[in-house]
Amino acid sequence: MKSVVSLRELREERKKLPGPVGLVPTMGYLHAGHLSLLRQAGAQCASVVVSIFVNPTQFGPQEDLTTYPRDLARDLEMLKAGGANLVWIPTPEVMYPPGYQTWVTVDDVTKPLEGSLRPNHFRGVATVVAKLFNSVQPDKAFFGQKDAQQALVMRRMAQDLNFPIEVVVCPIVREADGLAMSSRNVNLNPEERRAAASLYKSLQAAREAYENGERSASRLRQVALDTLAQEPLAHPQYVSCAEADSLQELDQVEGPALLSMAVFIGRTRLIDNIVLGR
């Protein structure tokens, strides 16, 4: 496994890789969720490139850019063991040199949910992933369903801009108690960690209601909110029941629906989701 920093080195090493090439974009501090993306990429592609870049342009001024967890040595060990062929670790100066001024924006699908609470977040994500796509030139790129809206934005961008790249979305990987794997979970203290299981518990409660025939989106949201309300450390920012592709909020669940939420556990903001009816 080679690891490189500059774009020039990346392009040189990329040329040597047999195709098809899979890309797994990450912000580092890897966990079992990332490793499942790596496994999928390895199963579908002859070579796997992983990028590690905590992308400053997708963090808001009040967000956790500076405290975002990092452990490069551990990441590289995990990637080597996981079978990655090439790791790109650009610095912010490599990605955004002086005079940088080009942005990729996706309109409708970035407006609700995370986009409504995190202005410019998806502009930063779309821009950096467009750069990763052009730099690595993969045949496939692997994203996690945990960031469901991000996965939709990536699909939309790749399709709209005619990137010759297949966007593959992989299932959420969970801890034994249901907590979705996230680099931010490390910020939870033991009590918060226990409380964080309430996200998945509330999604499961809503799924059970759905499976028992409930189709009112507002009642499904309420089932999740009621379950979250039983956990004093959980402070929901939103609970959404939306059409699975457009992310428009639903009245009635008729086709596939994304039930998603953002919840503060202490100072840590967690997101999670399930898809109903697919």
Binding of residue 102 to a copy of itself (CB under 8 A): yes
Decide: residue 184, CB within 10 A, 0-12 exposed, 13-18 middle, 19+ buried: middle
CB closer to a copy of itself, 70 vs 100: 100
- 145 DSSP 8-state letter: T
The footprint of a copy of itself on residues 110-139 (CB under 8 A) is 126-127, 130-131, 134-135, 137
155 forms part of the interface with a copy of itself (CB under 8 A): no
Cβ of 242: how many Cβ atoms within 10 Å?
Answer: 21
Q: Name which of 36, 115, 123, 113 is nearest 273 in CA terms.
A: 113
Nearer to a copy of itself by C-beta: 80 or 100?
A: 100
For the bound state, the minimum distance from the C-beta of residue 193 to a copy of itself, rounded and expressed in Å, comes to 38
* Structure tokens given for 156: 């939309």
Residue with tokens 């821009």: 127
Would you count residue 237 as binding a copy of itself (CB under 8 A)? no
- 98 near a copy of itself, judged by CB under 8 A: no
Does the protein bind a copy of itself through residue 171 (CB under 8 A)? no
CA distance 278 to 258: 10
- Smallest gap, in angstroms, from Cβ of residue 84 to a copy of itself? 20
C-alpha to C-alpha distance for 92 and 109, rounded to whole angstroms? 27
Contact positions toward a copy of itself, by CB under 8 A?
A: 7, 11, 99-109, 126-127, 130-131, 134-135, 137, 156-157, 160-164
